Chains A and B, each alone.
Chain A
Amino acid sequence: MSITLRNVRKDYDAQTDVLEDISVKVETGEFFVIVGPSGCGKSTLLRMIAGLTPITAGEVSIDDKVVNDLPPKARKLTMVFQNYALFPFMSVWDNVAFGLKARKMDQSDIKQRVDKALKMVNLTELGKRKPRELSGGQRQRVALARAVASDAKICLMDEPLSNLDAQLRIKMRQEIYALQRKLGLTLIYVTHDQVEAMTMADHIMVLNDKHVQQIGTPSEIYQNPANDFVAKFFGTPQINILSAKRSKTDHHVLNVSSDLEIALDQEVPAEDVKIGIRPDDMKAEAADSIESNAVVKNTEFLGDETIVYATLNSGENIHVVVPGQVNYRIYQPIKVSADSNLMFFDAKGDRLNISKEAYVHA
């Protein structure tokens, strides 16, 4: 089942807009991730799809049928909440059976479906336990089993992994992904974690400041961010954003500072420009003080690579990922450079359409 949003808007009173003009189509069987920082309205958007929060304007359709005025239960979907929303006084089995009982299904059908759902999430042995007797990961599985048992083809998940520790999060991530593929669910998944978004999504919607920033596949989002917000949101360590000015004499040249200039194979369309360079697209090498364009502030050794934090002579802070281990001293002069995968943004942060082939000179 596909879901379409057309110009959806939400405000709580006439003044405070939460979401503006959201339009997107989620295809059948797609793993769709809505990602954004806290307070960007992503949970609100999910709740509006679920029907728990009314929308102010626009249209929500499921399979081309407008569902704006349908109550949650008529939308034939299921939802996994951040705190799992398990009924503390019911056993695991009864928790999973809750919706089926509420819809007055046949006893034998209920038993069959619940047993199957519990088996699918490997909880068959724990059916009699109460939620408080389970670990965080097991509770999460109960919530998943409930979604599975309901047999709805659309599943909404609101930060389902944020209460788990890092190890478990990776494990559950894989389980959720496998489950979604196995059942062919149309899954809309809300998270603030860019890694979750990148690893699971077929398509990602990046939400910030009430607006959709970009919708695309993980690789589109990473390699072709629509603006500097998206560029900064994805990738660790964060992308370097340097401000630059177009050279007054040659419009093919950008000056980051007096001693760093970038020559481009085409004219720069704006005077003030931001340059984005991913830390692993940069190089750093030891240099004497004449050749150098930066000094080392700090290094972090991560095993297979080292992050070098440095200050450019212009005063801007950058970080560079260097493979293996390097032994820079603090305040050691180094030379940093980049010659590919540069991104250019205008002063507002929107992506400028400039080819990536460029050179940075020291």
Chain B
Amino acid sequence: MLKSPAQSTPTTPLSVEKTKNKLKAQEAHFSLNAKDKYFAWIFLGPSLLILGVFIFYPMFRTLYLSLFLTNTVGKATVFVGLSNYINLLTSADYISSVGVTLFYVFAVTIITIALGLLLANLASKRLPGIGIFRTLFSATMGVSVSVAAIFWLFIFNPSTGFLSLISTWMHLPQIPWLTNPTAAMWAVIITTVWMNLGFTFLILLGAMSSVPTTLYEAANIEGASSRFQFFHITVPSISPTLFFVSIITLIESFKSFGLIDLMTKGGPTNATNMLVYRIYKDAFYSGNYAQASAESIILTIIIAAFTYLQFKVLEKRVNY
């Protein structure tokens, strides 16, 4: 028997009993004999190895590099402490990138969720042929970034693009989609929303279809308009899913890279130079690995902070 320290201290019999029970409970939870430990490590091994090589090592290496100056092949040379960070946070260029990214992220998240809700709500109606629309609305899920980028580049093309044809036909002024800084930002936002929409739509549709129909029937009898039903039944009923989708979309948009690279390459005049694209350019074009590492760490902190905030703010409004 294990001799518990509680037995040696003078206490009332009741509290001794309590302490003993507590210790027993702890033992039951945590004690593993040598053989169990051996197996535990074997089972943990593969995932620890993979996480270690592909996540933990790069993470700590990035943190390490961000505190040094590096040479052209990415080796750390001189320890400079936080000066990489200080340089970044005092550079107007970098701050503008943060601003651009935040604008992009919020625009994409809000528009994706709003459109996703609208489409899912339409597609959840029981109408003949609604299956076709469900398939169409979710179809963008199967489109890869490169295909989407090329497809939208065609649409945005200033001379032969679909949008320019429409403006010509309707005698509207031409929008230089990819050469005007503001328009380019919106071009990227539209394309990202279009790509995200399939997934968001499908998830929201699934959530909507699990809302019991009697709730709507009761509301119909009580005289609630469909608008009232949407905001007072549908939205609160699917709030956990909305919460999930909004976090996923937010994080994904922070990490947007492919579309930017294929459509604007961060231009014109850095108007779409998002944080991730900047890291890529700094590291692999300019060879400034130290600065790129510092940028990566800052981006991680930003995403973590926003996700935390989202949890804090939205969780109160989510009905599980």
Contact = CB atoms under 8 A, between A and B. Distances in A.
Interface of A: 50-52, 71-73, 77-79, 81, 83, 85, 87-90, 98-99, 101-103, 146, 150
B214 A81 contact: yes
B222 A98 contact: yes
A81 B219 contact: no
Contact of A102 (B212, B224, B237): B224
B308 interface: no
Given A85-B215, A89-B319, 13 more contacts: A52-B220, A73-B224, A79-B221, A81-B217, A81-B218, A85-B214, A87-B232, A87-B233, A89-B236, A89-B239, A98-B219, A102-B228, A102-B232
Contact of A78 (B215, B222, B232, B236): B222
Nearest to A143: B218
A52 B217 contact: yes
A144 to B, nearest CB: 13
Contacts of B224: 73, 98-99, 102-103
Interface in B181-232: 212, 214-215, 217-225, 228, 232
Contact of B223 (A52, A81, A83, A102): A102
Contacts of A99: 219, 221-224
Contacts of A73: 220-224
B277 to A, nearest CB: 41
Given A88-B319, A89-B319, A71 B220 contact: yes
A78 B239 CA distance: 28
Nearest to B317: A89
Interface in B147-203: none
A258 B239 CA distance: 73
7 contacts: A50-B221, A52-B217, A72-B220, A98-B222, A98-B224, A99-B219, A101-B232
Interface string B268-295: 0000000000000000000000000000
A275 B239 CA distance: 61
A85 B220 contact: no
Contacts of A83: 212, 214
B318 to A, nearest CB: 9
Nearest to A76: B223
A103 B237 contact: no
Interface size class of B (residues with CB under 8 A): 10 to 19
Nearest to A130: B319
A85 B212 CA distance: 8
B232 A72 contact: no
Nearest to B222: A99
Nearest to B218: A85
Nearest to B237: A89
Nearest to A74: B223
A87 B222 contact: no
B125 to A, nearest CB: 15
Contacts of A98: 219, 222, 224, 232
Given A83-B214, A85-B215, A89-B319, A103 B221 contact: no
Nearest to A52: B217
Contacts of B217: 50, 52, 72, 79, 81, 85
A280 B42 CA distance: 74
A78 B219 contact: no
Contacts of B232: 87, 98, 101-102
Contact of A77 (B212, B221, B319): B221
A99 B220 CA distance: 9
Nearest to B225: A102
Nearest to B214: A85
A78 B221 contact: yes
A242 B218 CA distance: 46
A103 B222 CA distance: 8
9 tightest CB-CB pairs across the interface, nearest first?
A: A99-B222, A102-B224, A89-B319, A73-B223, A85-B218, A85-B214, A89-B236, A72-B221, A72-B220
Contacts of A101: 232
A90 B245 CA distance: 23
Interface in B99-143: none
Contacts of A85: 212, 214-215, 217-218
Which of B212, B217, B219, B222 neighbours the largest number of chain A CB atoms within 10 Å of its CB?
B222
Nearest to B220: A72
Contact of B218 (A79, A88, A89): A79
B111 to A, nearest CB: 26
Contacts of B239: 89
Contact of B222 (A88, A90, A102): A102
Nearest to A53: B217
A99 B223 CA distance: 6
